Amino acid sequence: MNAEQQYIDLFSQAEAMICQHSTEVLNAPRATAFADFERLGFPTRKQEKYKYTDVSKFFEPDYGLNLNRLDIPVNPYEVFKCDVPNMSTSLYFVVNDAFYNKALPTSHLPEGVIFGSLKEMAEKHPELVKKYYGKLADTSKDGVTAFNTAFAQDGVLLYVPKNVIVERPIQLVNILRGDVNFLVNRRVLIVLEDGAQARMLVCDHAMDNVNFLATQVIEVFVGENAVFDLYELEETHTSTVRISSLYVKQEANSNVLLNGMTLYNGTTRNTTEVLLAGEGAEINLCGMAIEDKNQHVDNNTSIDHSVPNCTSNELFKYVLDDQSVGAFSGLVLVRPDAQHTSSQQTNRNLCATREAHMYTQPQLEIYADDVKCSHGATVGQLDETALFYMRQRGIPQREARLLLMFAFVNEVIDTIRLDALKDRLHLLVEKRFRGELNKCQGCAICK
Instruction: Tell me what pLDDT residue 444 has.
Output: 47
> CB under 8 Å to 179, separation ≥6 — which residues?
208, 210
User: If you average pLDDT over each of 105-109, 365-369, 429-433, which comes out highest?
Assistant: 365-369
Instruction: Tell me what pLDDT residue 79 has.
Output: 66
CA triple 441-261-413, angle to 5 deg = 110
Length of the chain: 447
* Percentage, residues of the chain above pLDDT 90: 76
Query: In angstroms, what CA-CA distances link 156 with 131, 202, 260, 331?
Result: 16, 11, 18, 29
Three-state DSSP class for residue 226: coil
Q: How confident is the model at residue 90 (pLDDT cuts 50, 70, 90)?
A: confident
Q: What is the mean pLDDT of residues 190-197?
A: 98
What letter would DSSP give residue 393? T
Instruction: Tell me what pLDDT residue 407 has.
Output: 83
Instruction: Tell me what pLDDT residue 349 has.
Output: 95
Query: How deeply is 364 buried, as exposed, middle or buried, from its count of CB atoms within 10 A (0-12, 13-18, 19+)?
Result: middle
Gap between the Cα atoms of 214 and 244, Å rounded: 8
The residue that leads in pLDDT, 403 or 339, is 339
Say how far residue 67 (Cα) sits from the centre of its chain: 24
> CB under 8 Å to 5, separation ≥6 — which residues?
none
Q: Residues 406-430: pLDDT tens digits?
A: 888 999 999 999 988 998 899 899 8
Instruction: Tell me what pLDDT residue 403 has.
Output: 75
For 190, the enclosing helix (H) or strand (E) is strand 182-192
Neighbours of 53 (CB within 10 A): 25
Gap between the Cα atoms of 138 and 145, Å rounded: 7
Gap between the Cα atoms of 114 and 157, Å rounded: 7
Three-state DSSP class for residue 231: strand
Gap between the Cα atoms of 222 and 257, Å rounded: 11
Gap between the Cα atoms of 54 and 74, Å rounded: 33
Instruction: Tell me what pLDDT residue 101 has.
Output: 86
Instruction: Tell me what pLDDT residue 72 has.
Output: 74
Instruction: Tell me what pLDDT residue 379 has.
Output: 86
In the β-sheet with 90-95, what is the strand arrangement from edge to edge?
A: 98-99, 90-95, 170-176, 197-206, 227-235, 255-264, 282-291, 311-320, 342-351, 372-380
Beta-sheet strands, E only, within 223-323: 227-235, 240-250, 255-264, 267-276, 282-291, 296-305, 311-320
pLDDT above 60: residue 440 = no
pLDDT above 90: residue 302 = yes
Q: Residues 100-155: pLDDT tens digits?
A: 987 776 677 999 999 999 999 999 999 999 999 999 999 999 999 999 999 999 99
Q: Residues 375-401: pLDDT tens digits?
A: 888 888 776 676 666 676 777 767 777
Q: How confident is the model at residue 405 (pLDDT cuts 50, 70, 90)?
A: confident
Q: What is the mean pLDDT of residues 46-65?
A: 94
Instruction: Tell me what pLDDT residue 438 has.
Output: 58
Q: How confident is the model at residue 445 (pLDDT cuts 50, 70, 90)?
A: very low
Query: In angstroms, what CA-CA distances link 141 with 124, 136, 137, 220?
Result: 30, 11, 9, 18
Instruction: Tell me what pLDDT residue 172 has.
Output: 93
pLDDT above 50: residue 63 = yes
Gap between the Cα atoms of 316 and 330, Å rounded: 10
Could you tell me the pTM of the whole model? Answer: 0.94
Q: Residues 1-17: pLDDT tens digits?
A: 588 999 999 999 999 99
- Alpha-carbon torsion, ordered 31, 245, 65, 95, to 10 deg: -120
When the pLDDT of each residue in the chain is averaged and rounded to a whole number, the result is 91
Instruction: Tell me what pLDDT residue 435 has.
Output: 79
